[in-house]
Amino acid sequence: MNEPQVSVIIPAYNCEKTIAQCLKAVKEQTFKNIKEIIVSDDGSKDSTASIVKSFPDVSYVCQPNAGPATARNRGAKIATSEILFFTDSDCVPNSNWVEKSIKHFENKDIAVVMGSYDIANSSSILSRCIHKEIVYRHNNLLPEYPKVFGSYNFGIRKKIFDELSGFNEEYRYASGEDNDLSYRILKINKKIFFERESKVKHYHTESISRYLREQYRHGFWRAKLYLMHPKMMQGDNYTFWKDMADVPLVSFVLISFMLSLLSIRTYGILFLFFVLFTYFFNLFFANRFTRNIFEAIFYSFILFFRSFSRTIGISSGIISFLLKK
């Protein structure tokens, strides 16, 4: 089989600190049949445009800020190869990123080949913990055919991407649009293959406040995702029962807190019980994720507050999307 041509598409937004590193890594791929590299700028206000334009053989398109789903679709529209590879502007692909994945497209039933994460900023404890959790979740994915892929690292047949109209642009922010496309691919009886050796180094967030805001947003848009794909509420390999349990636990904490305002003597102990139970529940998983006691203690507090951010986000999303119906 002749090697297929590949187009690499990178959505970009205010990424002046990382985009050059990303582009250099794409240009240095061991796979040599990359026909084009397309950066789709989502209305950056920094020097992203000038940095990209300093790479003469990289195509640059720009749009008013509309979100990464729209930016990826815009890049895909001008792509001319039969296979599209996507990564993000804060990712640095390993040199064999494409080479490791491309061979699996020989199987006609495979629509998508997803890859995994490595870490670019391991000096940050928060970044290390986030990365270790992702590795844990990836280890729980089915050996070959998971139900979901991440938009940071995947290849897809352009014909299928176009057939499904790409990413759903109603997802205004980076939250759920890749899950949505994954589920739609499964509905047309095509497969997603997980190539664990195809990796991109990612700059995970180092800010706790930013991370918790992102988790609120993930929760908000996951409400829309589950309203559109209710069968996936049971999980998709990456999302598992711990994520589902967070919602009732947080609900019990909030309800018992409201009751304690009526009578601290009667309901205060109940409130304290649910707070401690929720914390130790997250400590248990923080230790499973990190396997390092010091990181686990730190990350347990992040997971504790993350459970609140996500639950409040999901609740807000359900109310918002139901009101729009």
Please indicate, yes or no, if residue 316 is contained in any of the structural domains: yes
Check residue 195 and give its pLDDT.
95
Instruction: List pLDDT tens digits, range 161-194.
Output: 999 999 999 998 888 899 999 999 999 999 999 9
> In a 3-state reduction of DSSP, which class is residue 281?
helix
Are both 202 and 237 inside the same structural domain? no
Please indicate, yes or no, if residue 52 is contained in any of the structural domains: yes
- The rounded mean pLDDT for the chain is 94
What is the mean pLDDT of the segment spanning 221-238? 85
Please indicate, yes or no, if residue 57 is contained in any of the structural domains: yes
Check residue 325 and give its pLDDT.
65
Instruction: List pLDDT tens digits, range 69-125.
Output: 999 999 999 999 999 999 999 999 999 999 999 999 999 999 999 999 999 999 999
Please identify, among 159, 191, 206, the residue that sits at the C-terminal boundary of a domain. 206
Check residue 152 and give its pLDDT.
95
Domain coverage including residue 73: 6-206
User: Considering only 44-53, 229-238, 243-252, which range has the smallest mean pLDDT?
Assistant: 229-238
Are both 147 and 249 inside the same structural domain? no
What is the mean pLDDT of the segment spanning 38-63? 97
What is the mean pLDDT of the segment spanning 204-228? 94
pLDDT of 319 > 80? The answer is yes
Are both 240 and 281 inside the same structural domain? yes
Are both 37 and 182 inside the same structural domain? yes
Please indicate, yes or no, if residue 222 is contained in any of the structural domains: no
- Gap between the Cα atoms of 100 and 265, Å rounded: 61
Structure tokens at 169: 């642009």
Check residue 109 and give its pLDDT.
93
Question: What total of structural domains would you count in the chain?
Answer: 2
Are both 117 and 47 inside the same structural domain? yes
Please indicate, yes or no, if residue 146 is contained in any of the structural domains: yes
Give the pLDDT band of residue 322 (cuts 50, 70, 90): confident
In this structure, is the dihedral angle defined by the CA atoms of residues 15, 20, 21 and 22, taken in order, positive or negative? Answer: positive
Are both 183 and 239 inside the same structural domain? no
What is the mean pLDDT of the segment spanning 207-216? 97
Please identify, among 206, 221, 252, the residue that sits at the C-terminal boundary of a domain. 206
pLDDT of 1 > 60? The answer is no
DSSP string, 162-228: HHTTSS-TT--SSSSHHHHHHHHHHHTT-EEEEEEEEEEEE-----HHHHHHHHHHHHHHHHHHHHH
Please indicate, yes or no, if residue 217 is contained in any of the structural domains: no
Please indicate, yes or no, if residue 228 is contained in any of the structural domains: no
pLDDT of 142 > 70? The answer is no
Check residue 275 and give its pLDDT.
98
Are both 201 and 280 inside the same structural domain? no
Are both 49 and 173 inside the same structural domain? yes
Are both 242 and 158 inside the same structural domain? no
DSSP string, 242-254: HHHHHHHHHHHHH
Which CATH number belongs to the domain containing residue 88 in this structure?
3.90.550.10
Are both 267 and 175 inside the same structural domain? no
Are both 167 and 31 inside the same structural domain? yes
> Measuring CA to CA, how many Å separate 305 from each of 83, 143, 209, 216, 217?
40, 32, 10, 10, 14
Please identify, among 206, 224, 248, the residue that sits at the C-terminal boundary of a domain. 206
Instruction: List pLDDT tens digits, range 193-209.
Output: 999 999 999 999 999 99
Please indicate, yes or no, if residue 90 is contained in any of the structural domains: yes
Are both 10 and 65 inside the same structural domain? yes
Backbone angles phi, psi at 71, to 5 degrees: -65, -45
